[in-house]
Structure formats: C-alpha cells, structure tokens
Amino acid sequence: MKALILVGGYGTRLRPLTLSVPKPLVDFCNKPILLHQVEALVKAGVSHVILAVSYMSEMLEKEMKEQEQRLGIRISLSHEKEPLGTAGPLALAHELFADSSEPFFVLNSDVICEFPFQEMVRFHKHHGKEGTIVVTKVEEPSKYGVVIYEAEIGRIHRFVEKPRVFVSNKINAGMYIFSPTILNRIQLRPTSIEKEIFPVMAQEGQLYAMELQGFWMDIGQPKDFLTGMCMYLQSLRHKAPDRLHQGPGIVGNVLVDPSAQIGEKCAIGPNVTIGPGVVIEDGVRIKRCTVLKDSRIRSHSWLESCIIGWSSDVGQWVRMENVAVLGEDVIVKDELYLNGANVLPHKSIADSVPEPKIIM
C-alpha cells in the first residue's frame, strides 16, 4: 500500500520552532511529528510513503533517506512549485498512485492520535465506495466544519462550516483512505479537497465516515502541541507504561530520553517531555512542558506550559509560563520572568517579558 502525507505548509503557526526545521521534523514526545505517522503506516503494511513538500525540503529529504533504510520502505518527495492546497498534491503525485488499483492513505501532517490505519482499510473495503474520512468528536463544533453522516453505516450526506446551531459534533480528523478513481476528479491546480472534492463525492454517495476512537489533536500551534503532548503521554500510560519515566521527583506522566540528566530535588511533571542531551540542574520545577534536545535548565527555575527549543539555556531562578516558546539556541539570563513570550532563534533575553509578545 501507499500513503501521501501533506507536509507542504510553511508551519507559520508553530514558529519560532519552524524557523529552524520544517514542522514535520519538530520533535513531538521525542520523535519527529512525521515519524509518528510514518512508523504507524509501516505497521499497517504501507511500503511506499510520498511526502508532498514545498518548504525546507532538503532537510526533509536528508532525514527521510535515513528513515527509509531504517524502516525498509520507499519514501518519495513530490515537490510543489506553488502551493496546491489539499487536493492539488494528489494530482501532482498522480503517476505514483495510478499504477495500482489498491486504495491509498492521505494524511494531514499535523495530526496526532492512535493512528487506526488497519481499521481504516477494513472499513473502506467493507463499504466499497471511493473515499473514507476519519472523523473525531469535539467539544465545540462551532469552531470547525462538521460532518453529517448516517451513524449506522457511515455514509456522509453533507458538510456544514462552523455551524451556529448544533447539527453534529464530528469533524474531519485529517486522515483519509481513497480508491485510485478519486484521481479522475482532481486537476493539477490549487484545490481544496474539503471544499471542492468532498461535497461532490458525498452528493454521489461515494464518501463514508469512520469514527476515531481515543484521543486526537491537531498539533500545528504551540498551545495545541502541549495539549496533544498531554494526551499522547496519557495514552502511553495505558498502552506502554514502561516507556514513561519513574524515579524521585517525577510526578505523573513524564517522558525522559535516557541521555538526559536530572539534578537533585527537582519536581518534574505531570506531562513533561525531556529530550536527548538535556541537562536539568538541581531544584528545578517543570510541568506541562516540552524541553528539546541539548537544552539546559539551570537551578531553581520554574517552568509551566512552555516549549524550550533545541540547545537553549534557561538561567537560574527563571520563571516561564503561559505557552512561552523559545526558538533554537536562545539564552534566558538569570532571575527573569517570561509570560507567554515567543522568542526567535539565537536571541539572548536580558529583561523580563511580563506580557505575551514576540521577541524578534
């Protein structure tokens, strides 16, 4: 089987991290976002993954060459010269899919969940129509486009964009499986699969919805990235608790790379991910944070709801909170307060940031 992953966007919502690496390569729970998807696809029997790329593609290409050998699959890059939306990339990669009658996956690269790829294949083959969309239940449907379908069999009737009154609480989860005949519907131009292709397929009775079990998050912006991390760690607690860290000062679900060092009298957790080569000095308090590779948190600092970029250095007695995000190689001097600061790479911060803002 084959899969197309849409990784073309600039990742502007996840800046400043995406100023250093393309979004699919940002580490989510100590593994690049993209690899969570690719490894799950391989488990489901996918042997060829196509990445629809436009931005920073050299970096992606290099990383994927290594993964190709490790996973024993083929990974191709399909280059967009101009942004082609969510359907155009299918037309661009047309010849890679046209040689087979097998269904193929299409994924949005920002999604994290317990990828149910084998169930998707079974569901798709069972109804025998052209497309399957995975849908997920949300608390506030008015913020999204919702999917209206027959609960018993999954046949989709229509889509309603940001409904004012309650019509459904199921939204498109950004994971699809299609029969190759869908390629006849898509021209090589910027096209939205959600707005231009799906409504027509639904009208023709060719589109079905499969409801996702378990957690789901679009982790394309810092606030949601941290929420997704909490969900993922909780899922590990149920599925693979031995991967979570235990020991003195560890509270709740915490993921720690074996090469990280944690000092004395720290309180780490709940919901913390600590990357490779990270050094946490004595007396540090961290909750609901991701600390990326080779960063250092100096003694007695207090961090809540933050993302600390690669090779950054947070001084002593620093307090950071409210979705503060440090880009790569940022230095925060001692005894400062950062409230929701968004700091671009290679900066040195010598003054407190009492109100959320971007530090250029």
Which amino acids are annotated catalytic? 162
- Nearest Cα to 147, choosing from 125, 129, 132, 130? 132
Question: CA 99, CA 115: separation in Å to the nearest integer?
Answer: 26
- Nearest Cα to 341, choosing from 15, 70, 35? 15
Tell me the HSE value of 224 on the side-chain side, using a 13 A CA sphere. 13
Secondary structure string (H, E, C) spanning the chain: CEEEEECCCCCHHHCCHHHCCCHHHCECCCCEHHHHHHHHHHHCCCCEEEEEECCCHHHHHHHHHHHHHHHCCEEEEEECCCCCECCHHHHHCHHHHCCCCCCEEEEECCEEECCCHHHHHHHHHHHCCCEEEEEEECCCHHHCEEEEECCCCCEEEEEEECCCCCCCCEEEEEEEEECHHHHHHCCCCCECHHHHHHHHHHHCCCEEEEECCCCEEECCCHHHHHHHHHHHHHHHHHHCHHHCCCCCCECCCEEECCCCEECCCCEECCCEEECCCCEECCCCEEECEEECCCCEECCCCEEECEEECCCCEECCCCEEECCEEECCCCEECCCCEEECCEECCCCEECCCECCCCEEC
Question: CA 306, CA 290: separation in Å to the nearest integer?
Answer: 7
How many other CB atoms are there within 10 angstroms of residue 68's CB atom? 15
